[in-house]
Amino acid sequence: TEKPTALIMIFGATGDLAKRKLFPSLYRLYKRGKLSDRYAIIGVARRELTNDAFQKSVKTSIQAAIKDCDDLDSFVSHFYYHSHDVTDSSSYLSLKTMANDLDQHYQLDGNRIFYLAMAPEFFGTIAEHLKSDGLTEVSGFKRLVIEKPFGHDLESAKELNNQLRQAFSEDEVYRIDHYLGKEMVQNIEVIRFANAIFEPLWNNRYISNIQITSSEVLGVEERGRYYETSGALRDMVQNHMLQMVALLAMEPPIRLNTEEIRAEKVKVFRAMNMLEGEAVKENFVRGQYGRGTVDGVDVPAYREEQMVNPESNTETFVAGKLSIDTFRWKGVPFYIRTGKKMAAKSTKIVIQFKDIPMNLYYQTEKTLNPNLLVIHIQPEEGITLYLNAQKAGENVETTPVKLNFANSGIDGNTPEAYERLLYDCMRGDATNFTHWDEVSLSWSFVDKISEVWENTKAENFPNYEAGSMGPRKADELLEKDGFFWWPVD
């Protein structure tokens, strides 16, 4: 394995993401032997902390995430802390001195990764200071890793991008979409492009529709303030859902490299039929949860959550029908749905194949189930293929059979999204990060929908019960086309 060398500065090192994802992921890389000894981490955040106290908190967060960890002391000995004011140049200058010292001490070849894991309003300011205060003058590589949200709409995303691009070139910007780090999301391409039984069928002649569901049980928890300005459309659709659509719909790349794959994904976004005005109402459904029962517990409505406007118009659920206007996909609806406080935490993709030309057999009422390919993204990882076989002892009656593959990795523990993405960034592989072209096109699509939603109050909110699978309208969206959401397991 390649063992990259770098100094990683994590801005927002006392925050939730750093503790829950970044520290444990770095530790896993270390345990798997993917980090050389030449690494150092600087935790950057506002509060005052000694290196010692910081290392302790890193240890605690790793222990909370991973059972049985050893070697922790030697791992965290490479962690340092810098108390920082993001708007103050002198703060950056002392950070620079610290960085240069560590660079020398650990022989990091002048490689630097700046990871912004904090409130988005500071992204631009930090990038500007990194440049003006000289932190980006390095002898090795410099990379900026940036968490979502990447803007609030196209205009603000452009503004942010311009700010970042003053200090970093496009190929030095690593925009995180953590769904792209998920094992089974990465597997979409492999399933499509490495299997002779799927590749020829992957088009409008054989596929009738595609359904992507990402449901969550959690509500907005303490994120009410952010969520009120975002809603499910910006929070999940603009990024994760559309990225999955792109991977399902893209043409085979001529080569498996970053540029080729991105170019194919960008083409999908360009071919997506833009919805405006009335078309938004016909093809997109918004929902907001009311009170209900989740896992046997009574829960409040969205409008009763902390930091949420009691008359909030914010959607906590979205379902939509997308069309991709290409030779391959014309006529095949891509249905997506995602929401908070739903019945289960689950992300799944169902590919429904067209019916065979003539039905000789029957299951119930002379209909035959179509073939389905289900890609289980989470919590289980795997693939199920639904076929029809003869029902034992009968000759005209069939029964659906399931071919199941459960992905369990080599040691029963597939790497986490953040672990892969951090490693990719350290190696300089940007394939599973989003290019500006993808971000801007997906915002253009989403902006048209939010425009309509922001200008018309949803009269029927709340319109789904917490613990359900969303509003009735989301079912009607498919019923209009003669389909339904497959309840697959």
DSSP state of 136: T
19 known ligand binder: yes
| Angle at the Cα of 119 from the Cα atoms of 172 and 420, rounded to 5 degrees | 45
Amino acid residing at 286: R
Contact criterion met (CB below 8 Å) for 289 and 458: no
Going by their DSSP bridges, the two strands 284-287 and 398-406 should be labelled as unpaired
With tokens 């951090």, the residue in question is 422
Which residue's Cβ has the minimum distance to ligand BG6?
A: 235
In the range 98-137, which residues lie near ligand BG6 by CB under 6 A?
Answer: none
216 known ligand binder: yes
Joined tokens for residue 128:
């500007």
Joined tokens for residue 40:
């150092």
Which residue among 172, 216, 305, 438 contacts ligand BG6 (CB under 6 A)?
216
Q: How far is the CB of 446 from ligand BG6 (least distance, A)?
A: 14
Which residues neighbour 38 within 8 Å (Cβ) at sequence distance 6 or greater?
5, 106, 107, 108, 109
Q: How far is the CB of 443 from ligand BG6 (least distance, A)?
A: 15
How many angstroms separate the CA atoms of 91 and 83, rounded? 8
Task: Return the number of the residue (235 or 305) whose C-beta is nearest ligand BG6.
Answer: 235
59 known ligand binder: no
Question: Rounded to an integer, what is the distance from CA 116 to the centroid of its chain?
Answer: 17
Q: How far is the CB of 20 from ligand BG6 (least distance, A)?
A: 11
419 binds ligand BG6 (CB under 6 A): no
Contact criterion met (CB below 8 Å) for 229 and 152: yes
Joined tokens for residue 269:
């976004």
Task: Return the number of the residue (82 or 148) whose C-beta is nearest ligand BG6.
Answer: 148
> What is the size of the binding site for ligand BG6 (CB under 6 A)?
5
In the range 345-374, which residues lie near ligand BG6 by CB under 6 A?
Answer: 347
441 known ligand binder: no
How many angstroms separate the CA atoms of 449 and 241, rounded? 15
In the range 130-169, which residues lie near ligand BG6 by CB under 6 A?
Answer: 148
Joined tokens for residue 10:
């994590």
Q: How far is the CB of 235 from ligand BG6 (least distance, A)?
A: 5
**Could you tell me the sign of the dihedral formed by the alpha carbons of 120, 121, 127, 130, in that order?**
negative
Per the annotation, the verdict on 240 as an active-site residue is yes
Binding mask 235-254 for ligand BG6 (x = CB under 6 A): x-------------------
321 known ligand binder: no
330 known ligand binder: no
Three-state DSSP state, 84:
coil
Residues annotated as part of the active site: 240
Q: Which residues are annotated as a binding site for substrate?
A: 178, 182, 216, 235, 340, 345
Q: Which residues are annotated as a binding site for NADP(+)?
A: 12-19, 46, 85-86, 148
Q: Which residues bind ligand BG6 (CB under 6 A)?
A: 148, 178, 216, 235, 347
